[in-house]
Each structure stands twice: as structure tokens, then as C-alpha cells.
Amino acid sequence: MESTRQETEKRRVVVKIGSSSLQHPGTGDMNLIKVERLVRELCDLRNQGMDVCLVSSGAIAAGRKSIGLAERPKNIATKQACAAVGQAKLMMVYQKMFAEYNQTVGQVLMTKNTMINNVSRKNAQNTFEELFHLGVIPIVNENDTVSTYEMQFGDNDTLSAIVASLVGADLLILLSDIDGLFTDDPHKNKDAKLIRIVDQLDDHILHMAKDSTGSDVGTGGMATKLTAAHIATVSGADMVIANGENVGVIHQIFEGEYTGTLFKAHKNEDFYIADYIEESIG
């Protein structure tokens, strides 16, 4: 991939990792080696003086495993029960592993109402700013325990872009189960080509989205990632989709050599994230 050394100038980064990147596919148990590597990568960004925010899926998947459910729950009450168990388990693991590197983390749980209510949104923004000021890494998830269907963001690809917009991040990294945006579904078409750089999101790019995912623990397909790219880029952040199989891709992005798709920022001063959420989500 062509070098993108401008990534080294980023000062505030949001990293999103999906459920399928955190669990062993055969058992559904948490992949502790990968989580530990992720923690090390994020701590190293903090050591370079960057503000870092992690948007982490995995609460429902972790809870489902703890409770003993064989398949992803379909009804809201069971999902929320799994989230209640799993979010505590997830944060326990993160707290323990970040502490190994003397890094403090904080939990931030959000709902759609957090963003569309002016007071709640400003409070959330102030909280993030204070956490960054104190050197804390916020770990964000949707508050699945209390979210109802009409109040959900829908997936953490979208949530991570909303967080990037809210905190004024200049880079959003989506760690996925795919290398980036392809000209066609690479699982079905061996001739599909990886698109390295997207200078501008247009109808041609948006029509490439396939609203599907290869995992039963995640919810976000390529369509959600392109929605995230739209939110992030018009908010003034670059966005990278990269494969979360190797979380070492995070430092490779900042070194300028990585496999993935870079969506370049095109800030729109007339874009207001609260208006967008109210009109487009839920």
C-alpha cells in the first residue's frame, strides 16, 4: 500500500473492535492473547501523547457464553440480559490488562438519546474531554441493557463514528474481519480487488456495500462501515478499515504501511451529528 505518513500527525484516535475479533471462533470464549495485544497497541499510542478511545463490541457475546446460550439471542430481553452479564465481564478483563501497563480506563455507555438530547450530548462531550485530559482511555459501548429497539444505534461501526464526531477525533480505525473495502464480496468473488484509498465517498462507492457479515457474533456488514465512513469524514476525521485478525495493524497504520482502506476526511461545516442521528438512525 502506498505510504500514508500523514497518519503520524494524528492526535486523537478512536479504535473500534468487533465481537468476532475478540472471540475464538470455535468456542466463543474471549481471545485473551488478542485482547492483550490490543491493549498494548493502545497503550503505546497513549505513550506517544495521543488521546485514545476504544469502542468495543463483545458484551452480548461474552454474556451469551457465560450464561450458556449456544446461539446469539434474538429477543431484546435476552440480549439485554446477556449484555448486563457480558459488559461487566468485558470491563473486568480490560481493567486487568490495561493495569498491567499502568493505564487507567473508564467505561462510557451510550444510547441514541445521549446524542439527540442536547444536555446529555454536551455532558457526554465534557466527560470525554475530561477523561482525555486526565490521560484515561474511555472504553465505549452501546448501553444494550437499557436500549430499546427504537433507541439503538444498531451497531458499533456507527457508534464509533458518532463518538469520533462527538470528540473531534482526526482518525477512526475500524478493526473488522475483512481487509477493507473491495470492489465485490471477496468471499464470493476471487477477483474482487481491495480499494486502498477512497478520496471521496460517492454513489459508486456506496453501492459496493454488501449488508452482510461472515460472523454470527457481530452485527456490522460493509454497509454499516460505509455509513461510519460518511459520518467520520464529513466530521473531519480520516477513517481506516483494516483486518482485526492482527491488531498490530494499528501501529502499522501510524507507520504508514498497512493493508486496509483509507477514507480521506472531507469536513462539512454544515454537518451536525445530532441532526443526522435524529433523521437517519432508528
The span from the CA of 193 to the CA of 180, in Å, is 10
> Domain spans of the chain?
5-280
Local structure of residue 6 (DSSP, 8 states): G
The span from the CA of 226 to the CA of 30, in Å, is 27
DSSP 240-260: EEEETTSTTHHHHHHHT--SS
Residue-level length of the chain: 282
Judged against a pLDDT cut of 80, whether residue 31 lies above it is answered with yes
Q: Which of 65-74, 94-103, 137-146, 222-231 has the highest mean pLDDT?
A: 94-103
CATH superfamily membership of 5-280? Acetylglutamate kinase-like (3.40.1160.10)
**pLDDT at residue 277 in the model:** 87
Residues 6+ apart with CB under 8 A from 56: 16, 17, 22, 90, 94, 139, 140, 141, 156
**pLDDT at residue 282 in the model:** 54
Give pLDDT tens digits for 219-234.
Answer: 347 888 999 999 999 9
Judged against a pLDDT cut of 90, whether residue 54 lies above it is answered with yes
Residue 32 cell numbers, joined = 485473551
* pLDDT, mean of residues 82-108: 95
Which of 23-37, 124-138, 159-173, 237-251 shows the lowest mean pLDDT across its residues? Answer: 23-37
Task: Tell me if residue 12 falls in helix, strand or coil.
Answer: strand
Mean pLDDT, all residues of the chain: 86
Q: How confident is the model at residue 165 (pLDDT cuts 50, 70, 90)?
A: very high
